[in-house]
């Protein structure tokens, strides 16, 4: 492509992105769309479902897609997943993703649409993600004749540890996809603002559980028992030494124990104790070494205290998450679209990667992908709780921004690809 031709395209592309994004936002804020998204989000929030159990959520999505006249795939795709298509049904293909699963938490927010399921709650905004992607679908369907290719909508189960994205990839649903975009709502940034970074965003992540077995008995006579609680306590302390004394201080790593279960009486030494936790690192080499050392430490410390142990890394049920790495070219695209749409001062750079994890990374292993944060904090209101809190709330005024950004990122990306092919 010649220089002047490229400059001309760049100007047209920016103008198109700005006008289309503004139009999409206006449409998303229209009560017909906004109230519809809110209603969907609240219905999902009232009926939370854990990973691979999102049957009602999946049915709701398929019902709404059917009403919109949008074709979809459902059977044989990651248990409850729904894959929908808008556009020409021909190449090029760009994907947009929303996760569907809730968390095993008891909601403590008292409001009209509180979770109706004891011990389950949408405490990470996935209900909002589904509503926004359906909002984008509604908008895109209205502009289907303008789409220069196909937008693939990925409604994905089991992001919270179950690796639903991995099953989506294995199903072949992304076989012809050129790029994929995903978002997450956050109270870290004001409503109407976004944030991301090129390259490394989130760490590799894995889970583990260990059972340490001894010999139970009366707590008044510990000499007659083999105490698994004492052994497990030393395991927990020794695991922290992996970070403080073995890891390079410039190579960020984390080992955290989140579960410690053993015994039920004050005066009884139990037969066994079960501990569980997570470990994280940015590089694959550090991550796999950390996995190896966790198993060695648990086994070794158990033996020191005359106990036996088993360690489970849940390779199938909770697969290790790769690092989330944003594609550099997609970062430029996102920056252009979001900057034109929201204003360049509303597009924030995340200064450094996080030890959090996101199974969107499974998509990024097979196609270029881009993940960003969507602000939902109203500066004039009380600070919203962070994710995975029983007090988590979603500011529904953010829904139009997510829906419009989804639609704009996909359509402008397809336009860009089409022009490159023609050029």
Q: Is 122 annotated as a binding residue?
A: no
CA-based torsion, 80, 86, 90, 96: positive or negative: negative
What is the CB neighbour count within 10 angstroms for residue 93?
A: 24
Q: Are the C-beta atoms of 166 and 321 separated by less than 8 Å?
A: no
Q: Is 388 annotated as a binding residue?
A: yes
Q: How far apart are CA 239 and CA 18, in angstroms?
A: 52
3-state secondary structure the chain: CCHHHHHHHHHHHHHHHHHHHHHHHHHHHCHHHHHHHHHHHHHHHHCCCCCCCCHHHHHHHHHHHHHHCCCEECCCCCCCCEEEEEECCCCCEEEEEEECCCECCCCCCCCCCCCCCCCCECCCCHHHHHHHHHHHHHHHHHCHHHCCCEEEEEEECCCCCCCHHHHHHHCCCCCCEEEEEEEEEEEEEECCCEEECCEEEECEEEEEEEEEECECEECCCHHHCECHHHHHHHHHHHHHHHHHHHCCCCCCEEEEEEEEECCCCCCEECCEEEEEEEEEECCHHHHHHHHHHHHHHHHHHHHHCCCEEEEECCCCCCCCECCEEECHHHHHHHHHHHHHHHCHHHEEECCCCECCCCCCHHHHCCCCEEEEEEEEECCCCCCCCCCCCCCCCCCHHHHHHHHHHHHHHHHHHHHHHHHHHHC
From the list 62, 235, 87, the residue with the least C-alpha distance to 151 is 87
Q: Is 124 annotated as a binding residue?
A: yes
Q: Which residue ranges make up the annotated binding site for Mn(2+)? A: 124, 126, 160, 184, 388
Binding-site members are 124, 126, 160, 184, 388
């Amino acid at each position: 492509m010649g220089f002047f031709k490229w400059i001309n395209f760049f100007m047209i592309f920016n103008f198109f992105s700005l006008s289309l994004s503004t139009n999409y936002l206006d449409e998303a804020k229209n009560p017909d769309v906004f109230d519809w998204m809110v209603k969907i989000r609240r219905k999902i929030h009232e009926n939370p479902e854990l990973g691979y159990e999102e049957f009602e959520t999946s049915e709701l999505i398929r019902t709404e897609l059917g009403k919109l006249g949008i074709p979809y795939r459902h059977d044989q795709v990651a248990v409850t997943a729904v894959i929908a298509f808008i556009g020409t049904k021909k190449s090029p293909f760009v994907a947009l993703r929303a996760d569907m699963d809730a968390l095993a938490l008891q909601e403590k927010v008292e409001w009209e649409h509180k979770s109706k399921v004891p011990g389950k709650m949408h405490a990470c905004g996935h209900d909002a993600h589904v509503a926004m992607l359906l909002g984008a679908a509604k908008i895109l369907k209205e502009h289907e004749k303008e789409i220069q290719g196909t937008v693939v909508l990925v409604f994905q189960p089991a992001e919270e540890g179950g690796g639903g994205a991995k099953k989506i990839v294995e199903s072949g649903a992304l076989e012809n996809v050129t790029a994929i975009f995903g978002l997450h709502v956050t109270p870290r940034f004001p409503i109407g603002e976004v944030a991301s970074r090129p390259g490394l965003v989130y760490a590799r992540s894995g889970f583990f559980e260990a059972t340490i077995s001894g010999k139970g008995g009366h707590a008044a006579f510990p000499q007659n028992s083999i105490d698994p609680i004492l052994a497990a306590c030393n395991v927990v302390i020794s695991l922290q030494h992996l970070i403080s004394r073995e890891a390079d201080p410039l190579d960020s790593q984390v080992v955290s124990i989140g579960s410690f279960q053993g015994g039920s009486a004050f005066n009884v030494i139990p037969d066994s104790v079960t501990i569980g936790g997570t470990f994280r690192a940015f590089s694959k080499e550090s991550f796999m070494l950390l996995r190896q050392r966790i198993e060695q430490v648990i086994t070794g410390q158990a033996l020191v205290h005359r106990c036996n142990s088993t360690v489970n890394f849940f390779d199938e049920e909770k697969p290790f998450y790769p690092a989330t790495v944003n594609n550099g070219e997609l970062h430029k695209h996102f920056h252009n679209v979001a900057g034109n749409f929201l204003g360049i001062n509303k597009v924030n750079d995340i200064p450094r990667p996080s030890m959090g994890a996101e199974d969107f990374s499974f998509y990024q292993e097979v196609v270029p992908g881009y993940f960003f944060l969507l602000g939902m904090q109203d500066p004039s209101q009380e600070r919203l709780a962070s994710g995975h809190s029983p007090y988590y709330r979603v500011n529904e005024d953010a829904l139009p921004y997510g829906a419009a950004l989804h639609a704009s990122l996909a359509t402008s990306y397809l336009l860009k690809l089409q022009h490159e092919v023609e050029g």
